[in-house]
Structure 1
């Protein structure tokens, strides 16, 4: 399935969710659906298998996701019917992006040598949320001993490299090019 089609499904559910004031509920439900599809690759194989009847596929989705709202269930059924169930995870990712934009929420990957403390997380979140024009910034911390010290922040398309390794690389480039 094309990403454009998955984007349209996400946009349609987003608009419906906003209209019905169900953004939070639908996001929560879709996060659970995404987890199921991500952790159970066999589920997608079964839903796409040509020898499994349409009725069995529908029953599998209905029973497996009985706890989700009618809107989410109908969307899953529509994607199954239109043979686009293979893009359900991508569609959910797009829906989450739309909700994050609506709520002015961002996500940053912060790479450090040692784990961040809660105070450091809060400080980084506040500082970079302002730079990104977000109200809230969630931090995912990855460790990389090659950084030597400092930190590297990936925020959308932007990278802020305050690591010692990054500073050394910049100095090396300046020395090699003859700049001081």
Structure 2
């Protein structure tokens, strides 16, 4: 996976530059999301990997699924097809979204708690992260009862482990 992310990075940067130049970041987000889903489908992978399918046919096939593609999107997909990189569309979409969030000063944060958060708690966490990181925060929440209490917050490269389980593990490490 790390290798595919490395290979996908220049393509994501290129498509992001096109989207930013044309002021069309949302449209590209939607298109890349659909294309990523297509590339993850085993049935579509079989068609795209088939040596009897030309690069142009592969692009036309994807265009048929996604709807009409503009010239930039067609050119981008043709470049991917010519370089045997269509299967990297999920990684390209993920990297594109990271670039877009960074450009828009947005950050996605995952909050894992032992029990569901109230709306007030979510607001306080988002406000604290915004103050600390200087970006708009979008929270996603999940529950993991094995944490016992507290929360684990992942926002970009930042990880804050304030869970009871994490504290117990740190205590056990300090004692031994």
TM norm structure 2 = 0.86
The answer to whether 1:137 aligns with 2:137 is yes
What are the ranges of 5 or more consecutive residues in structure 2 without an aligned counterpart?
none
Give 2:58's aligned residue: 57
In the alignment, the residues of structure 1 paired with residue 114 and residue 11 of structure 2 have an alpha-carbon distance, to the nearest angstrom, of 40
What are the ranges of 5 or more consecutive residues in structure 1 without an aligned counterpart?
none
Give 1:18's aligned residue: 20
CA distance 1:115–1:41, change in 2 (3 Å): farther
Give 1:35's aligned residue: 37
What is the CA-CA distance between 1:23 and the residue it aligns to?
Answer: 1.4
Give 1:156's aligned residue: 156
Alignment size in residue pairs? 174
Contact 2:12 2:96 in 1 (8 A): yes
The answer to whether 1:117 aligns with 2:118 is yes
CA distance 1:41–1:54, change in 2 (3 Å): same
Contact 2:111 2:142 in 1 (8 A): yes
Contact 2:39 2:87 in 1 (8 A): no
Aligned Cα root-mean-square deviation (Å): 2.1
